[in-house]
C-alpha cells in the first residue's frame, strides 16, 4: 500500500488523508487475503471502494463508484491509508468494542509482569515506540543540565528519518512525522508548567533546529512543520520572560545568536519569529553589540543585492537598528536614519505621527502628500490608500471642507465596499444639492459596471440604494442580477411591497441554478425553495416550481431524494 500511495499524486493523497482523519471511512472489510472492500462517505453520497493486492507486494486493481474521472480518487487513497493503519473493523460509525476487547480495559486488568514483557517485545521491533517511551519516562536527573539539546535532536531527527523515503517525506508521512514531533512539544509544555525551563528549552530548540533541516525535503503543504518551529520560538520567548536564571537566559541568547545566522529559517517563513525574538532578547539582556554586528551584516548584504524583497527587508532591519539605538538613548543617530530613509513608508509614518502629536497639520499634510507621490511611483496601491485615509483626517482637523469632500468621494469610488466614506461625502453636501450629487455618483459607478476590470460589485451598489431608501431601484438591481443568493439576501426589504415581482425573480433564478448537478447543489435548491415559500403567496409557487423541476429532471434521483425533505406533499 505504501508503494501504491507513492504513485498517486500528492494532492490526492492529502485529500485521502483528510478523509481518513475525519472519519469518512464508514466500513472496511477484509474480504479475503489481499482483498478489501470499503464504504466511504463522499460529497454526494456513500461510495463503494475495493482494493485487491496481487500477493507479491503490489496492488493488482482498485475501484470506486464515485463520479471522479481521474486515475485514482481520494476515496481509494483514504481506504489504502486505512488499510495501512490496520483499521479492520466492520462499521466505524456503529460498532462499539466489547468490554473484554477494549484496549483501556485490557491495560487496567493486565498482569504487570505480562504488560512489561509485552512492552519489551513490542519496543524491540518498533523504534518510534522506543523513542516515544524514552522521551516520556526519562528521568529529569538522567537528562538535566543546559547541554541536552543534542539528546533531543537525536530523538527528533530519528522521527524524520523513520518517515523518509528516498530522501523525501511525502504529505502522508509528514502528517505522521509531525504527529510524533508534536508529542515532544506537549512534553516541553509539561516541563514548562513544572518550571523545568532548562528541559523545556532544550526540547523546543531541538524541534526548531531539526525541523528547519527536515522541512527542506518534506511536503509541508499542511504547514505543520513550520507551525511547530514557530510554536517553539513562542515557547522560548515565554521561557525568557518567566525564568529568573541569568545563566539560562544567556544560554538561550547564545543559541538565538547562532540560529539567526542560519538563512534556512528565512526560506521557510519562520525567520521573522526568530529574528524578532533575538533582537528583543538582545535589548533585555543588554547584548547590543552582537545585535548591531548582525544588523550591519544583513544590511550590507541587502545593499549588495537585487530583487523584489530588498526594500522590505532593508526597511525591517533599519527599523530594528533604530529600535536598538533608541534603547541605548542614541536618539540623534536613530533620527538620522529615519530622515535618510524617508522614502520608506514606515519611516515617513514615524514623522507623520510626530507631526500629528504636535498638531502640526501642515507638516503632516506635506509628508503624506509626498508619501502618496512616492507610493504612486512604486505602484503601491495599498500604501497610497493608507496615506489617503490619514490625509482625510488631516483635512478634517484643518477644517478644509472642500478637500475633505473630494477625498472622501475619491476613497469611496476606489473602494465601494466601505460605505463609511460614502457617508462622509454625503455629510459635506448641502441638503438641497445632495440628490444631484448622489445621482451623479451612482451614474459614474454604474458606468464602471460595463468595464469588467473596474466594475462595482452588485452588493456594493445595493448598499448605496439601501442607504438612500431607493427601494424600486434596489428591486430592479436584484431582478437584473438573476442571482438567487442576492435575491434571498434582500428579500426582507423588497417583500413588503414587491412580493409578486420577487416570486418571479425566484422562479427564474432557481431554474437557472437547477442546471447545476450534484447533491450539494440540490440541497442548496431546497434552501432556495424554502426561502421562496416564505414570501407572501410563495408556498404554492414554490410547490409548483418543485414539481416542474422534478418533471424536467426525471433522471436525477438525488434531486428527488433531497426535494422530499421539503415535506410539502
**Phi, psi torsion values for 57, nearest 5 degrees:** 105, 10
**Phi, psi torsion values for 547, nearest 5 degrees:** -65, -35
Closest by CA to 391, choosing from 374, 413, 369, 370, is 369
Retrieve residue 82's grid coordinates. Answer: 486505512
Question: Picking from 8-22, 95-109, 159-173, 287-301, which range would have the lowest pLDDT averaged per residue?
Answer: 95-109
pLDDT beyond 80 at 203: yes
Q: Which residues contact 346 (CB under 8 A, 6 or more apart)?
A: 315, 319
Size of the chain in residues: 569
Exposure b/e, 418-449, CB count within 10 A at least 16 = b: beebbebbbeeeeeeeeeebbeebbeebeeee
Contact predicate 25/38, CB 8 Å: yes
Q: Crossing angle, helix 381-398 and helix 345-357, to 10 degrees?
A: 10
pLDDT beyond 60 at 557: yes
Determine the 3-state secondary structure of 165 from DSSP.
strand
pLDDT beyond 60 at 70: yes
- On the 0-12 / 13-18 / 19+ scale of CB atoms within 10 A, 358 is exposed
State residue 106's pLDDT score.
Answer: 79
What's the pLDDT tens digit per position in 499-543?
999 999 999 999 999 999 888 899 999 999 999 999 999 999 999
State residue 124's pLDDT score.
Answer: 77
Radius of gyration of the chain, Cα coordinates, nearest whole angstrom: 32
What's the average model confidence in pLDDT over 456-485?
Answer: 94
Q: How far is CA 380 from CA 12, 58, 313, 375, 454, in A?
A: 38, 55, 16, 5, 18
pLDDT band at 568 (very low <50, low <70, confident <90, very high): confident
More confident residue, 53 or 32: 53
Cα separation, 83 vs 39, in Å, equals: 13
Retrieve residue 525's grid coordinates. Answer: 435548491
pLDDT beyond 50 at 143: no
State residue 131's pLDDT score.
Answer: 67
State residue 130's pLDDT score.
Answer: 73
State residue 29's pLDDT score.
Answer: 84
State residue 257's pLDDT score.
Answer: 96
What's the average model confidence in pLDDT over 403-421?
Answer: 95
Q: Which residues contact 239 (CB under 8 A, 6 or more apart)?
A: 192, 197, 200, 201, 248, 252
β-bridge mates for residue 59, sequence order: 53
State residue 146's pLDDT score.
Answer: 56
What's the pLDDT tens digit per position in 265-324?
988 778 889 999 999 999 999 999 999 999 999 999 998 888 888 988 999 999 999 999
Arithmetic mean of pLDDT over the chain: 89
pLDDT band at 87 (very low <50, low <70, confident <90, very high): very low
Closest by CA to 410, choosing from 372, 379, 359, is 372
What's the average model confidence in pLDDT over 391-419?
Answer: 96
Amino acid at each position: 500500500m505504501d508503494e501504491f500511495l507513492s504513485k498517486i499524486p500528492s494532492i490526492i493523497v492529502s485529500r485521502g488523508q483528510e478523509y481518513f482523519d475525519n472519519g469518512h471511512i464508514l466500513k472496511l472489510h477484509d474480504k479475503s487475503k489481499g482483498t478489501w472492500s470499503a464504504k466511504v462517505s463522499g460529497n454526494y453520497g456513500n461510495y463503494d471502494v475495493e482494493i485487491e493486492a496481487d500477493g507479491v507486494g503490489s496492488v493488482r486493481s482498485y475501484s470506486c463508484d464515485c463520479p471522479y474521472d481521474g486515475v485514482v480518487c481520494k476515496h481509494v487513497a483514504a481506504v489504502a491509508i486505512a488499510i495501512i493503519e490496520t483499521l479492520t473493523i466492520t462499521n466505524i460509525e456503529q460498532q462499539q468494542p466489547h468490554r473484554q476487547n477494549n484496549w483501556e480495559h485490557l491495560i487496567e486488568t493486565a498482569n504487570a509482569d505480562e504488560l512489561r514483557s509485552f512492552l519489551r517485545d513490542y519496543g524491540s521491533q518498533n523504534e518510534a515506540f522506543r523513542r516515544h517511551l524514552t522521551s516520556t519516562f526519562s528521568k529529569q536527573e538522567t537528562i538535566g543540565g543546559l547541554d541536552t539539546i543534542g539528546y533531543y535532536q537525536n530523538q527528533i531527527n530519528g522521527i524524520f528519518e523513520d518517515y523518509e523515503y528516498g530522501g523525501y517525506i511525502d504529505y502522508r508521512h509528514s502528517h505522521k512525522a509531525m504527529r510524533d514531533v508534536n508529542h515532544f512539544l506537549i512534553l516541553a509544555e509539561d516541563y514548562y508548567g513544572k518550571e523545568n525551563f532548562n528541559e523545556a528549552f532544550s526540547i523546543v530548540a531541538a524541534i526548531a533546529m531539526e525541523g528547519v533541516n527536515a522541512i527542506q525535503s518534506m511536503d509541508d503543504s499542511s504547514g505543520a512543520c513550520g507551525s511547530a518551529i514557530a510554536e517553539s520560538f513562542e515557547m522560548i520567548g515565554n521561557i525568557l520572560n518567566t525564568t529568573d536564571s541569568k545563566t539560562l537566559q544567556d544560554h538561550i541568547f547564545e543559541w538565538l545568536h547562532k540560529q539567526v545566522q542560519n538563512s534556512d529559517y528565512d526560506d521557510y517563513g519562520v525567520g521573522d519569529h526568530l529574528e524578532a525574538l533575538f533582537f528583543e532578547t538582545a535589548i533585555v539582556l543588554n547584548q547590543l553589540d552582537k545585535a548591531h554586528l548582525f544588523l550591519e551584516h544583513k544590511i550590507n548584504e541587502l545593499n549588495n543585492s537585487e530583487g523584489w524583497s530588498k526594500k522590505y527587508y532593508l526597511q525591517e532591519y533599519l527599523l530594528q537598528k533604530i529600535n536598538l539605538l533608541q534603547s541605548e538613548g542614541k536618539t540623534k543617530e536613530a533620527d538620522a536614519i529615519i530622515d535618510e530613509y524617508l522614502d520608506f513608508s514606515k519611516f515617513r509614518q514615524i514623522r507623520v505621527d510626530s507631526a500629528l502629536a504636535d498638531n502640526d497639520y501642515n507638516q503632516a499634510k506635506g509628508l503624506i502628500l509626498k508619501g502618496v507621490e512616492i507610493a504612486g511611483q512604486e505602484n503601491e496601491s495599498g500604501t497610497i490608500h493608507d496615506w489617503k485615509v490619514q490625509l482625510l483626517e488631516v483635512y478634517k482637523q484643518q477644517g478644509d471642507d472642500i478637500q475633505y469632500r473630494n477625498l472622501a468621494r475619491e476613497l469611496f469610488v476606489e473602494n465601494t465596499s466601505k460605505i463609511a466614506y460614502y457617508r462622509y461625502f454625503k455629510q459635506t453636501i448641502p441638503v438641497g444639492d445632495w440628490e444631484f450629487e448622489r445621482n451623479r455618483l451612482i451614474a459614474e459607478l454604474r458606468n464602471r459596471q460595463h468595464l469588467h476590470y473596474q466594475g462595482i460589485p452588485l452588493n456594493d451598489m445595493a448598499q448605496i440604494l439601501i442607504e438612500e431608501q431607493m427601494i424600486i431601484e434596489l428591486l430592479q438591481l436584484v431582478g437584473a442580477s438573476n442571482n438567487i443568493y442576492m435575491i434571498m439576501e434582500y428579500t426582507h426589504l423588497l417583500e413588503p411591497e414587491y412580493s409578486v415581482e420577487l416570486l418571479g425573480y425566484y422562479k427564474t433564478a432557481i431554474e437557472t441554478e437547477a442546471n447545476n448537478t450534484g447533491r450539494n447543489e440540490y440541497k442548496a435548491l431546497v434552501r432556495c425553495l424554502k426561502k421562496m415559500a416564505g414570501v407572501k403567496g410563495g408556498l404554492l409557487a414554490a410547490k409548483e416550481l418543485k414539481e416542474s423541476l422534478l418533471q424536467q429532471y426525471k433522471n436525477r434521483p438525488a434531486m428527488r431524494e433531497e426535494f422530499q425533505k421539503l415535506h410539502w406533499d
